[in-house]
Amino acid sequence: MTDHGRDMAGSIDRRTMMKSGGAAAALLTPGLALAASANADRTAVLKAIDTNQAASVQRLADWIKLPSIAAEKRNIDEGVAHMIALARDAGFPTAMPVPTGGVPSVFATLDVGAKHWIGIYFMYDVKQFDPAEWTSPPLEARLVDRPGLGQVMVGRGAVNQKGPEMAFLAAVRAFRESGKKLPVNIALIAEGEEEIASPNFAKAISHPDVLPTLKRCVGVFIPSASQSPDGTSTLTLGAKGAVELELISSGERWGRGPTKDIHSSNFARVDSPAWRLVQALDTLMKPDGHTIAVEGWYDNVQPLSPREKALIAETARRTSEAEVKKQLGVSRWINDESWGQALERLASQPTINIQGLVAGYTGPGGKTILPHRAVAKMEFRLAPAMTKEEAIDKFNAHLKKHGFEDLEVKITGGYGPTSTKEDSALVRAEKAVMERLGVAYTIIPRSAGSWPGVMFSGPPLNLPAAQWGMGHGSGAHGPDEYFLIRSANPKVMGMAEASKAYVELLYEIANQATIRA
Amino acid sequence: MTDHGRDMAGSIDRRTMMKSGGAAAALLTPGLALAASANADRTAVLKAIDTNQAASVQRLADWIKLPSIAAEKRNIDEGVAHMIALARDAGFPTAMPVPTGGVPSVFATLDVGAKHWIGIYFMYDVKQFDPAEWTSPPLEARLVDRPGLGQVMVGRGAVNQKGPEMAFLAAVRAFRESGKKLPVNIALIAEGEEEIASPNFAKAISHPDVLPTLKRCVGVFIPSASQSPDGTSTLTLGAKGAVELELISSGERWGRGPTKDIHSSNFARVDSPAWRLVQALDTLMKPDGHTIAVEGWYDNVQPLSPREKALIAETARRTSEAEVKKQLGVSRWINDESWGQALERLASQPTINIQGLVAGYTGPGGKTILPHRAVAKMEFRLAPAMTKEEAIDKFNAHLKKHGFEDLEVKITGGYGPTSTKEDSALVRAEKAVMERLGVAYTIIPRSAGSWPGVMFSGPPLNLPAAQWGMGHGSGAHGPDEYFLIRSANPKVMGMAEASKAYVELLYEIANQATIRA
């Protein structure tokens, strides 16, 4: 489910970008002076990244060819084994599966005797895909020239999240291959059920072989490709929570209506589970079509702080509303609100969304049946300080209050919102590296998309948690997903440059953690 | 869409059946005395049916192997040509396609210079099918032994409606082959869009080459296999009308929400066409889940007449509620009503049914999208004296009144209800033949299922219109549809006996029409 804040908020406009124009290009020539922090070790590490780049690209292609998909129970054992092999190959001496009750996680450590530990979160699973929608086979990992960008790798998982993760692994490997010491120890926890909303990941974190090490970390981040095609980036301080569920009306549970699809003429005398679903759904939403009617839903929703409002106003000023509307195919925001208001809603408002409706006959034309079952695929997005448990309890209480207790609420995964302090060592390091690399960025108080960062930012760890990384890709969850390998655009980093940015970040985290955690 | 009243009302219970037990078996031995109406011509015709039975079964198999499906635009030209060949082969000297603007109809006449004409309605199209659901290939027309019944042919269209229609054609052919004169002239009109609710059939009927001949008919019937496995039958005096439609909510038409599926996090700031569909749907139905909230919907619904109520009470007395509930997988009727009340509802109440719901992501698990489009596949069932046009107008007016004018109402076909007088020559002939053959039957004032009989019973023809035929089959629209070929059950007729019953009916129609139209 991992989303990039960039996609949600829109990219920085051209005028702003020009202010920092071209600075990112410094990284494209390895060994060029990297401002004040340059030193001989770093130079050797960066060189090793270039030396090994072809092999890294091949490793990414091999990984894309092995899609682990929890929803389809596809390549589970193979995915675990491959993740372990990738970690070992990058230099983690220990890497092991962690049982979760569902798809196993993988935990790997690389203790170089440094003073500080950093936690890295990976997802090794990918979203389902339909090859018919793709212009090249989604598991081929084909290298394609994309005008204005450069050479991209097209494949499921390319940007979400294997490309950025492989760029990070290449950075770690470069330390080993250049014989240089990492500035921090690394704890890597990789999940295989991120795309089904991490139903069992909390068990991996609390595993006795995992928790003590994670507790020592100054923060946790997931590698991501956060640059827009114009080179700008975002820094997100949190994310909404998400709970995925199905709301199911059926004759079997209701005790009324049919227990199998029957001829539709019978609706004259037999109740309809499909109409019942419609009626139950309609109680959830106020007439405006977006305000949630579930009692107490907004009780724990925190208003935006003055700093958050200021950050959003800054984003509104620096980004193009027209461009985002065009990308989304949207002509109006809710209530015809302004760009700033839309961004505030995106950062602050919980939602109950209908992802899909499925009942009875769904093929072409009609079919004269009275369906015995009707399903709404839904998801909650949760704003701080809502919790997953609170939302589920209130949802169930609402159905009960309105007499829809017979409807099944099938929770398939989810987690609460994530928040990380702007003055944490992790965020300070992120900012410092982007500034040093000349990457213009906006600070997003809260991504409307979701990732299981709350597993780290919430109890028992209570750590800073972030998504961070340079480079570019797009098409997560959709067809023709890609990750930029060799950039032909001086403002956007390719894979090798993204690896180098992780090298910078690791140094900077050590630096910032030494100053103040 | 053709439905058998039998499936809707339930079969006569065993006790009633025993009163007429075995009488239908008389037909199984060709040439046995058929009460008062036996004569030498008839004997020769019935013998010809037996002689040609193997060829008739083969013709049915060949027809099943060529499915015409209007919804899929499958085998349109081939279906027309095959229908024409079948009519000519059965003895109709003229058979020609009739343009309708959609899939052509076929019109064939057989004028033997008799005093009276009878109209026959065929549908030559079949319902869509999913081979994965079948135990033998749906186009193989495999002959299978079915315990308690005998040898059946399994295939799409076997009972709906090719089997009964082929039994009728075999009856017509038997006159020619035995050199005997038909007692009536026959006008055969065959439709290729029955399964998509006859959107263009009115044009075929009003065609100048068709209408004058149909106007001369004493009535029109569609061959059907109306016997239950216990041998009992039904005689229906009408059918509800049906209108198929899709109600579609989309960002494109609304001007709000997205015009393509976008990431679901955007629901915090972008309106949802799926929620809009839910809200529009919920206005259509009262809280009880079955009473229609559209203004004026019931204005023209006629209450059941005393005769209709008496017929339904008789059906309720003679049929097994428990058996029907079991067949339908239903434990309670609407409002926990009685069997008699349920049958009255079935005969008298209009419905607005949800056949299917389709929006956004419909695969396994979830997918974090905000769908740009949501569709409810629906159908109206109309009771006398509602009309199709009235229902559509009131539905549109309702949407407008509630502010949902942007929703698209896509009517894909339909027609009003059918009613035929019990004392018409056609119905008198049907009764007389069933009584002579010893087939116990119930009279159903109105089938809740629908067929385009109103095309004949309404203007401009205003003719008696009926579904009639002996024999048995099941599985219309579902998998493993079958038609009984060789009966091993003395109470149920096989295909040859069904053909013979049509011979009886043709003689009896001539007889009754001579007495009084």
Q: What is the pLDDT of residues B68-122, one digit of tens each?
A: 999 899 999 999 999 999 999 999 999 999 999 999 999 999 999 999 999 999 9
Q: What is the CB neighbour count within 10 angstroms for residue A113?
A: 7
Q: Output the pLDDT for position B449.
A: 76
Spell out the CATH class of A241-301+349-415. Answer: alpha beta
- Residue A93 sits at the vertex; the CA angle it makes with A90 and A97, to the nearest 5 degrees, is 90
Name the fold adopted by A5-238+418-515.
Aminopeptidase (3.40.630)
Q: Output the pLDDT for position A478.
A: 83
> What global pTM score does this model have?
0.84
Segment B402-425, tens digit of pLDDT: 999 999 999 988 999 999 999 999
Segment B43-69, tens digit of pLDDT: 999 999 999 999 999 999 999 999 999
Which one-letter amino acid corresponds to residue B284? L
Residue A515, class by beta-carbon neighbours within 10 Å (0-12 exposed, 13-18 middle, 19+ buried)? exposed
Q: Output the pLDDT for position A366.
A: 87
Q: What is the DSSP letter of A411?
A: E
Segment A415-456, tens digit of pLDDT: 999 999 999 999 999 999 999 999 999 899 998 778 899 999
Instruction: Give the whole-angstrom CA distance, residue A10 versus residue B299.
Output: 54
Q: Output the pLDDT for position B1.
A: 53
Q: Output the pLDDT for position A2.
A: 53
Q: From first to last of the 517 residues of chain A, give the pLDDT tens digit.
A: 554 433 444 433 333 333 333 333 344 333 333 444 448 899 999 999 999 999 999 999 999 999 999 989 999 999 999 999 999 999 999 999 999 999 999 999 999 999 999 999 999 999 999 999 899 999 999 999 999 999 999 999 999 999 999 999 999 999 999 999 999 999 999 999 999 889 999 999 999 999 999 999 999 999 999 999 999 999 999 999 999 999 999 999 999 999 999 999 999 999 999 999 999 999 999 999 999 999 999 999 999 999 999 999 999 998 899 999 998 999 999 999 999 999 999 999 999 999 999 999 999 888 889 999 999 999 999 999 999 999 999 999 999 999 999 999 999 889 999 999 999 999 999 999 999 999 999 899 998 778 899 999 999 999 999 999 999 999 888 899 999 999 999 999 999 999 999 999 999 999 999 998 7
Q: Output the pLDDT for position B5.
A: 37
Instruction: Name the CA radius of gyration of chain B, rounded.
Output: 24
Of A256, A282, A377, the CB nearest to B282: A282
Q: Give the Å distances, CA to CA, from B2 to A114, B104, B222.
A: 79, 19, 10
Q: Output the pLDDT for position B2.
A: 53
Best of A264, A344, A378, A411 to mutate (most B CBs within 10 Å, chain B): A264
Q: φ and ψ at A293, to 5 degrees?
A: -95, 5
Q: How far is A510 from chain B (nearest CA, A)?
A: 34
Instruction: Give the whole-angstrom CA distance, residue B388 versus residue A420.
Output: 61
CATH superfamily, domain B5-228+418-515, is: Zn peptidases (3.40.630.10)
pLDDT higher than threshold 70 for residue B28: no
Judged by average pLDDT, the poorest of A282-291, A453-462, B148-157, B439-448 is B439-448
Q: How far is B90 from chain A (nearest CA, A)?
A: 32
Which of A467, A460, A374 lies closest to A420 in space, CA to CA? A467
A148 at interface of B, judged by CB pairs closer than 8 A: no
Could you tell me the two tokens for A301? 């929703």
Best of A103, A266, A362, A409 to mutate (most B CBs within 10 Å, chain B): A266
Q: How far is B34 from chain A (nearest CA, A)?
A: 37
**Sequence spans of domains, chain A:** 5-238+418-515, 241-301+349-415
Instruction: Give the whole-angstrom CA distance, residue A63 versus residue A158.
Output: 9
The mean predicted confidence, pLDDT, of chain B is: 92
Instruction: Name the CA radius of gyration of chain A, rounded.
Output: 24
Best of A8, A368, A369, A481 to mutate (most B CBs within 10 Å, chain B): A368
Determine, for residues B346 and A266 on separate chains, whether the beta-carbon distance falls below 8 Å: yes
Chain A, nearest residue to B368 by Cα: A355
Segment A7-50, tens digit of pLDDT: 444 433 333 333 333 333 344 333 333 444 448 899 999 999 99
**DSSP assignments along B424-450, one per residue:** SHHHHHHHHHHHHHT--EEEES-BSS-
The residues facing A146 across adjacent strands are A150
Of B246, B342, B361, the CB nearest to A356: B361
Q: Output the pLDDT for position A1.
A: 54
Chain B hits for A133, CB-CB cut-off 8 Å, are none
Ramachandran region of residue A197, left (φ > 0), alpha (ψ -120 to 50) or beta? left
Judged by average pLDDT, the poorest of B19-23, B198-202, B329-333 is B19-23
Q: E strand or H helix at B59, and its extent?
A: helix B53-64
Q: Output the pLDDT for position B365.
A: 86
Burial code (b: 16+ CB inside 10 Å, e: under 16) for B469-504 equals bbbbbbbbbbbbbbbbbbbebebbbbbbbbbbbbbb
B263 at interface of A, judged by CB pairs closer than 8 A: yes
A243 at interface of B, judged by CB pairs closer than 8 A: no
Q: Give the Å distances, CA to CA, from A323 to A311, A335, A386, B408.
A: 20, 19, 32, 29
Q: How far is A253 from chain B (nearest CA, A)?
A: 12
